Amino acid sequence: MNVSVSASVFAACKPWSRDQIAANAARDIPEGWYVNVGIGIPVLVPNYVPPEREVIIQSENGILGMGPEPEPDKINRWLINASKKYVTLLPGGSYMHHADSFGLIRGGHLDLCVLGAFQVAENGDFANWTSDKDDMPSVGGAMDLAVGAKAIWVLMDHTTRNGESKVMRRCSYPLTAPGVVKRVYTNLAVLDVTTDGFVVRDLAPGLTLEALQDVTDAPLRMAN
Amino acid sequence: MSTGRVMINKIVQSMADAMTGIRDGSVVLIGGFGSIGQPNALIDGLIEQGAGALTVVANNAVVGHTGLARLMEVGRVRKIICSYPRTSDPVVFAELYRAGKIELEVMPQGTMAERMRAAGAGIPAFYTPTSAGTKLAQGKEVREFRGHQCVLEEAFYGDVALIEAWEADRWGNLTYQSSARNFNPVMATAAKLTVAQAQHIVELGALDPEMVPTPGIFVHRVVHVPYGEPMVT
């Protein structure tokens, strides 16, 4: 993998934007699911759940039934999400303290958690809290969410800024949790994690499987 | 004529009274998530009181130069235990940490909350799947339950908890505002001395008993701090 291969692959197709990655994931969330969204691209996901579909968003700082960003003149200064941004509470929403919030998370009550990551591996391992060089590791709630939610989806860019694959045979960074990721949405593809490795469900417009493989560390195959 | 009867009254009249007895080297649990629900007036009171070499437990390593950041900046914090030091603007912490003047222990957020809950609930230790198979489980006892690797975590006790509430009465019953609840109720249960700042002091009986997240048994001192709205995040 190198910058020039990566650059040519990106130039030959139309990679999805951060918002499109979020929209791709939002489209696949069924009505009635309870979902926690992490910081980074995942925080955009609720914006793309169709308004007629009821999906209940949890924020680990004690909010169940979180709504969108408030109008500028209607901000509740006491109400923020995990990214420390102002949010709203939907009718039917509720507050809880941190031990109850993480009890809910760890206790297997969430249908889905959508997280960002540095790397995801074909065995479902992922890494999103520290690189080895990082002097200020920050785990937040990621390790609790990773083992608690019924499904973990990762939303991230397919490669680093230097063109290195983030979709790996094995993670090189310290793990957040082993073997938990079920699906990955990147700017180039949508991938399922199966017992036989990554299966490609969708490709960015104009991208071929061969070109995707050129910028991906792990072996890939198309879904039937 | 006085009957000599002394009613319970946890509401103290000065910040100095609220901070009495906090010693050097204390483990101080500080509520809040980001700047929301962080008891800044109590932290300023602790700075004034003078205790140092503190171990502080808080979710973030703080923003800007107020509240917990100021406590660090004036050199009172020996160690911070938190889940997420990398907030948007951790200027004070970052400088002290890189200069080796403060120790950092990173703990998963849910494990941090549950260790304090356990302390308050008389559970000395528990097994959790969180962090199993990762660097943060190194050196800890691991056992399999129901097919999952689980890590033994001990209860985490505070000497002091400083928390922020919305309403309080003289028995120390507390309510909170929106997401400012966060770590405050669980920290209140886990410390030998819990001090709350509250925006509103209400009469006994005024709080709806169905809506009291922190019953007064967990609270030892209450200070009235009607400061209005939190600063913009």
Per-residue confidence (pLDDT) for residue A5, from 0 to 100: 80
From chain A, pick out residues whose CB is under 8 angstroms from the CB of B135: 130, 174-175
Within a 10 A sphere around the Cβ of B132, how many other Cβ atoms? 21
Question: What value does the mean pLDDT take over residues B108-115?
Answer: 98
Question: What value does the mean pLDDT take over residues B81-90?
Answer: 82
Question: What value does the mean pLDDT take over residues B149-166?
Answer: 98
Helix (H, G, I), strand (E, B) or coil at A219: coil
Let me know: does B224 contact B201? Beta carbons within 8 Å.
Answer: yes
For chain B, list the domains and their CATH numbers. Answer: 15-204 (3.40.1080.10)
Output the tens digit of pLDDT for each of chain A's 224 residues: 567 788 888 888 999 999 999 999 999 999 999 999 988 899 999 999 998 999 999 999 999 999 989 999 999 999 999 988 999 999 999 999 999 999 999 999 999 999 999 999 999 999 999 987 767 889 999 999 999 999 999 999 999 999 999 999 999 999 999 999 999 999 999 999 999 999 999 999 999 999 999 999 999 999 98
Per-residue confidence (pLDDT) for residue A91, from 0 to 100: 95
Tokens 């703990």 identify what position?
A: B107
CA A89/CA A94 separation, integer angstroms = 8
- Asked whether the predicted pLDDT for residue B2 surpasses 90, the reply is no
Determine which helix (DSSP H) or strand (DSSP E) holds B27, and give its type and residue range. Answer: strand B27-30
Q: How far is B3 from chain A (nearest CA, A)?
A: 41
CA B133/CA A218 separation, integer angstroms = 22
Subunit contact A62:B182, Cβ cutoff 8 A: yes
Q: Hey, is the C-beta of B39 within 8 angstroms of any chain A C-beta?
A: no
Query: Is the complex ipTM more than 0.90?
Result: yes
Q: How far is B232 from chain A (nearest CA, A)?
A: 7
Subunit contact A147:B98, Cβ cutoff 8 A: no
Subunit contact B129:A62, Cβ cutoff 8 A: no
Q: Which of A80, A96, A139 is facing B83, going by the closest CB pair?
A: A139
More confident residue, B2 or B63: B63
- The pair phi, psi for residue A182, each rounded to 5°, is -105, -30
Per-residue confidence (pLDDT) for residue A36, from 0 to 100: 98
Per-residue confidence (pLDDT) for residue A183, from 0 to 100: 98
Find, in chain A, the residue whose alpha carbon is nearest to that of B148: A147
From chain B, pick out residues whose CB is under 8 angstroms from the CB of A147: 129-130, 132, 148
Question: What value does the mean pLDDT take over residues B35-40?
Answer: 93
Q: Give the mean pLDDT of chain B.
A: 94
**Maximum Cα interatomic distance, chain A, rounded to a whole number of Å:** 52
Subunit contact A139:B180, Cβ cutoff 8 A: no
* Dihedral over Cα of A100, A101, A102, A108: its sign: positive
Phi/psi zone of residue A59: left (φ > 0), alpha (ψ -120 to 50 degrees), beta? Answer: beta
Q: Which of B146, B177, B178 to mutate to test the interface with A (most CBs of A within 10 A)?
A: B178
Q: Hey, is the C-beta of B31 within 8 angstroms of any chain A C-beta?
A: no
Query: Could you say which of A52, A60, A122, A164 is catalytic?
Result: A60
Interface of B with A in 103-162 (CB under 8 A): 104, 106-111, 113-114, 116-117, 128-136, 148
The pair of structure tokens assigned to A79 is 């109400």
Which stretches does DSSP call E strand in chain A?
Answer: 34-37, 56-59, 63-67, 88-95, 112-115, 119-121, 126-127, 152-155, 167-168, 181-185, 189-194, 197-203, 220-222
Q: Hey, is the C-beta of A67 within 8 angstroms of any chain B C-beta?
A: no
CA distances to A157, A177, B57, B96, B131 from A143, rounded to whole Å, are: 21, 6, 19, 27, 6
DSSP state of A75: -
| CA-based nearest residue to A113, from A57, A67, A32 | A57
Per-residue confidence (pLDDT) for residue A131, from 0 to 100: 84
A194-199: Cβ within 8 A, 24+ apart: A196/A221, A197/A122, A197/A221, A198/A122, A198/A167, A199/A223
From chain B, pick out residues whose CB is under 8 angstroms from the CB of A84: 33-34, 36, 87-88, 233
The pair of structure tokens assigned to A107 is 């206790």
Interface of A with B in 30-59 (CB under 8 A): 59
Per-residue confidence (pLDDT) for residue B86, from 0 to 100: 77
* Dihedral over Cα of B117, B122, B128, B130: its sign: positive
Q: How far is A19 from chain B (nearest CA, A)?
A: 22
Per-residue confidence (pLDDT) for residue A133, from 0 to 100: 74
pLDDT tens profile A16-31: 999 999 999 999 999 9
How sure is the predictor about B88, in pLDDT bands with cuts at 50, 70 and 90? low
Subunit contact A85:B176, Cβ cutoff 8 A: no
CA distances to A1, A13, A98, A200, A214 from A217, rounded to whole Å, are: 8, 19, 38, 14, 8
Answer yes or no: A71 catalytic.
no
For chain A, list the domains and their CATH numbers. Answer: 3-42+106-219 (3.40.1080.10)
Name the H helices within B27-180. Answer: 40-49, 68-73, 91-98, 109-121
Tokens 């200020």 identify what position?
A: A136
Q: Which of B98, B180, B232 is facing A78, going by the closest CB pair?
A: B180
CA dihedral of B73, B24, B85, B65, whole degrees rounded to 10:
-20
Determine which helix (DSSP H) or strand (DSSP E) holds A196, and give its type and residue range. Answer: none
